[in-house]
Amino acid sequence: MNDKPLLSFLLTFLLLTSSLLHAATPVPKPPSVGAKSYLLEDFHSGQTIAEKNADQRLEPASITKLMSAYVVFNEIRNGTLSLEDKVRISKKAWRTEGSRMFVEVNTQVSVAKLIRGMIIQSGNDATVALAEQVAGTEEGFASLMNHYAQQLGMTNSHFVNSTGLPHKDHYTTARDIARLARALIREFPEYYNLYSQRSFTYNGITQYNRNKLLWRDESVDGLKTGHTDSAGYCLVTSAKRKGMRLISVVLGTKSEEARADISQALLNYGFRFFETHKLYDSGTKLTSTRVWKGAAESVDLGLAETLYVTIPRGEYKHLDASMQLQKQIIAPVTKGQTLGRVVIRLGDKLVTEKDLTALNAVPEGSFWQRIVDEALLYFE
């Protein structure tokens, strides 16, 4: 009996089975959810995984307090505000409608406690008190909010108050909020843990964080809820699993339960079907290129920021990286000068591209070097 056909069949079967077992998991469409707008993105790469009306201007309700916190944290970092500072509670702060920390008029409350009241209890009274301490008036504080929003590239946002109470000129987008959330986590890790605290007691009153996912999902560690009748129920969430951090922004749902369920569905989708990889560290030499008429003949090139990519799970081996370098680079070259691009593709799809910058400066060369290189360039 000739066993060769059988062995050939078995070998082919095993190879096909192995190929199927190691094939990338098919990526289904994102969940169909009942929200006016949403965005799901990776924290490290900043890449969008799923979105719906992410650039539509909407009322943010108490999601606004993420920007208020960003301003306050910047003031502390700049040395113009301290956690130990005592804040006198004004009548305006005390009377502010909506959710409350229950501070009392004319009492002195520390900045540290007011920050907790703003973040954990979503206290409008605490937020206005902080705004007045920072800028004198809430209107002045709103100007600071808009200033920082512009710096962060939140091009579709405008704030008129610190709390998120409804106003026709107070709006933002899911994409802008995600940008803000990334900045908060990246720039102020020492305060980020406040967003995962489940309760805060002040004046004998214990209130609980309204983010239901803090109880449901141990990977969730922030960020903020919001609700008004006109804005609906909103939730910004961040979660970390196996080193991968996702941010979801959900705006305009019908209930507390809906905003939690939708956010959970988006997070599960992202973690299940996508993965994030670090490709290159910032400041690391990736290549070098010729410099003409310089004191040195070449310059090292790298990235200003660490490069991460978020791709469908199982597709890492199919990534392709290429570099596009500027032709005929003439000295002087300054450190940080853009001299090319790194292009990352997955098949025929562009994943991302980043500037290649000079890692060192190259001043002009001597008179003789410039003359020699001028002659050589003639033949290039």
Using one digit for the tens of pLDDT, what is the confidence trace for 81-132?
999 999 999 999 999 999 999 999 999 999 999 999 999 999 999 999 999 9
Per-residue pLDDT at 57: 97
pTM check: above 0.85:
yes
Please give the share of the chain, as a percent, with pLDDT higher than 90.
Answer: 84
Task: Give the Å distances, CA to CA, from 335 to 96, 280, 317.
Answer: 51, 19, 33
Least confident of 11-25, 184-198, 290-304: 11-25
CA 131 to chain centroid, in Å, comes to: 24
| SS3 readout for 93-143 | HHHCCCCCCCCCCCCEEEHHHHHHHHHCCCCHHHHHHHHHHHHCCHHHHHH
Active site residue 212: no
Per-residue pLDDT at 372: 79
- Written as one string, the DSSP assignment of 176-223 is HHHHHHHHHHHH-HHHHGGGG--EEEETTEEEE-S-THHHH-TTEEEE
pLDDT at 15 over 90: no
Spatial separation of the C-alpha atoms in residues 360 and 342, rounded to whole Å: 18
- Residue 11, judged by CB atoms within 10 A of its CB (0-12, 13-18, 19+), counts as exposed
Q: How confident is the model at residue 370 (pLDDT cuts 50, 70, 90)?
A: confident
Spatial separation of the C-alpha atoms in residues 179 and 150, rounded to whole Å: 11
| Mean pLDDT over each residue of the chain, to the nearest integer | 91
Domain limits, the chain: 37-275, 281-378
Spatial separation of the C-alpha atoms in residues 349 and 100, rounded to whole Å: 49
Which member of 37, 45, 65, 162 is catalytic? Answer: 65
Q: Right CATH number for 281-378 from 2.60.410.10, 2.60.40.10, 1.10.340.30, 3.40.50.300?
A: 2.60.410.10
* pLDDT, tens only, 200-253: 999 899 999 999 999 999 999 999 999 999 999 999 999 999 999 999 999 999
State both tokens at 37: 């707008």
Q: Which CATH architecture has domain 37-275?
A: 3-Layer(aba) Sandwich (3.40)
pLDDT at 140 over 60: yes
Mean pLDDT score, 296-324: 94
Could you check whether 37-275 and 281-378 share the same CATH topology?
no
Spatial separation of the C-alpha atoms in residues 129 and 367, rounded to whole Å: 64
- Cβ atoms of 74 and 53 closer than 8 Å: no
Other Cβ atoms closer than 10 A to 46: 15
Active site residue 122: yes
Active site residue 62: yes
Dihedral, 243, 244, 245, 248 alpha carbons, nearest 10: -160
pLDDT at 16 over 90: no
Other Cβ atoms closer than 10 A to 324: 10
Which member of 37, 45, 68, 122 is catalytic? Answer: 122
pLDDT at 10 over 50: no
Place of tokens 């609980």: 208
Which member of 37, 45, 62, 157 is catalytic? Answer: 62
